[in-house]
Amino acid sequence: MSANYAATATDIYKTFGDTMAVAGVSLAVPAGSIYGILGPNGAGKTTTIRMLLGIIDPDKGSRQLLGHERPLEAAHEVGYLPEERGLYPAMACEEAIAFMGALRGLPIKEGRARAIELLHGRGLGDWIGKPIRTLSKGMAQTVQLLGTIVHEPKLIVLDEPFSGLDAINQAKLEELIRAEAAAGATVIFSTHVIAHAERLCERVAIIAAGKVAFDGAVDEARGRLRPIVHLRTRADDGPWRSALPGDARRSGREWKFELPEVGPEPLLRALLDGGAGIETLSIERPGLHDAFVAIAGEAAAKKMDEPVEVAA
């Protein structure tokens, strides 16, 4: 199991006071994949990640990180960007990166050299020697991200990595995640923005209310839903209407319904033979958002769209 999976959780539980934050989460992250943990704020994503990494122990259940039952034993091969970013403000950028590497077993000199290389490689050479406190929040986050990967970890865990970044830096981060995955690393990231997961992930876990509502390939999540047919006809009525499913919704002369299981052919034949007069016809694959709504429910999806409030 451990050879194929970079991280697994088996039925883990965590209660804080009277709140059950994680209620029986199981997931398996294939090695070398980009894995998204998707869910609204407060769904239990961060708690799940903290348990996977061994920062906290689950009340119940077990987890494995790179084949280790005790996650800290794998610490040297893991990189982690917490949701609440934090660096020592007085440290210079390259020192902060080297320090984070040193925590993960990278010799400090090597870390410093790599930090300088990483900064130069991103055209950030002029940050060298600058204390963290002089940087903007987004800049500090970039430094911390570089510190997360400086020791070339096999597994990179990023908790809400896109929040706090502008569009340009979000694109850069996507690029970095793809590059790390291409180099063989496994990347786990959590997000409440479906678009990021949709663009990046091969697999996702959808977490809502402390439970995994879905764990699998993005295509599989989409596959849970039938494609949607959008149809506009010249004719108002006719025998072709019987080929449309009963729950088809109509607005004017436009119809919207799930593609019947028998496929598009019987539908097309009925439309043509019945003289419906097809004006436009499109069959769309559902997006991850639709899948999310179908899997996690309307309420969870609404929560995802709420603006992020940075909890104190």
Partner 1 sequence: MTIRETIGAAYVIGRRDFHATVFSKTFLMFLLGPLLPLLFGFLFGGIGAQAERNETPPTVAVISSGADFALLDKARTRFIPLEEGRPLVALRAVAPEANVAAQRDQLLKAEEEKLLGVLEGGLKAPHFTGAVNADGRTVKQIALFVDEAQLMASGAPTASRGPPVRISLTDQSGGSLASAREITARAGQFLIFFLTVFLAGMLLSQLIEEKSNKVIEVLAAAVPVDSIFIGKLFAMLAMSLVGIAVWLTAGAIGAALFLEQGLGSLPPPAVGWPAFIALGFLYFTTNYLLIGAVFLGIGSQASTVREVQTLSMPVTMAQVLLFGFAVLGVGQPSSAEAIGAAVFPLSSAYAMIARAAEQAAIWPHIAALAWQILWVILILRVSARLFRRSVLKSGPAFRWPWQRKAAL
Which stretches of the chain bind partner 1, using CB under 8 A?
15-17, 50, 53-57, 59, 70, 72-73, 75, 78, 80, 82, 84-91, 99-100, 102-105, 108, 144
For residues 226 and 261, is the Cβ–Cβ distance under 8 A?
yes
In order, the DSSP letters of 60-82 are EEEEEETTBSSGGGGGGGEEEE-
Q: Are 200 and 178 in contact (CB under 8 A)?
A: yes
Q: Which is nearer to partner 1, 83 or 202 (CB)?
A: 83
Q: Closest distance between partner 1 and the C-beta of residue 6, in Å? A: 16
Min separation Cβ 112 and partner 1, Å: 13
Q: Which is nearer to partner 1, 55 or 281 (CB)?
A: 55
Between residues 137 and 249, which has the closer beta carbon with respect to partner 1?
137
User: To the nearest whole angstrom, how small is the minimum distance from the Cβ of residue 279 to partner 1?
Assistant: 57
Residues 6+ apart with CB under 8 A from 81: 144, 145, 148, 156, 157, 158, 159, 161
Task: State which residue, 39 or 153, has the beta carbon closest to partner 1.
Answer: 153
Minimum separation from the CB atom of position 244 to partner 1 (A): 54
Closest distance between partner 1 and the C-beta of residue 164, in Å? 13
Q: Is 23 helix (H, G, I), strand (E, B) or coil?
A: strand
* DSSP three-state, residue 199: helix
In angstroms, what is the minimal distance from the CB of 75 to partner 1?
Answer: 5
To which H or E segment does residue 177 belong?
Answer: helix 167-182
| Nearer of residues 105 and 121 to partner 1, judged by Cβ | 105
Q: How far is the CB of 80 from partner 1 (least distance, A)?
A: 5
Question: Residue 183: which H helix or E strand, with range?
Answer: none
Q: Residue 109 or 234: which CB sits closer to partner 1? A: 109
Q: What whole-number distance in Å separates Cα of residue 171 and Cα of residue 49?
A: 23
Of 153 and 286, the one with the shorter C-beta distance to partner 1 is 153
Closer to partner 1 by CB, 90 or 171: give it.
Answer: 90
- Tell me which amino acid residue 177 is: I
Bin 174: left if φ > 0, else alpha if -120 < ψ < 50, else beta: alpha
Contact by Cβ (8 Å): 87, 143 = yes
Distances (CA, A) of 134 to 67, 90, 129, 130: 40, 9, 11, 7
What's the CA gap between 125 and 119, in Å, rounded?
5
The rounded radius of gyration (Å) of the Cα atoms in the chain is 24
CA angle 107, 85, 213 (to 5 degrees): 110
Provide the minimum distance between the beta carbon of 33 and partner 1 in the complex, in angstroms, as a whole number: 21
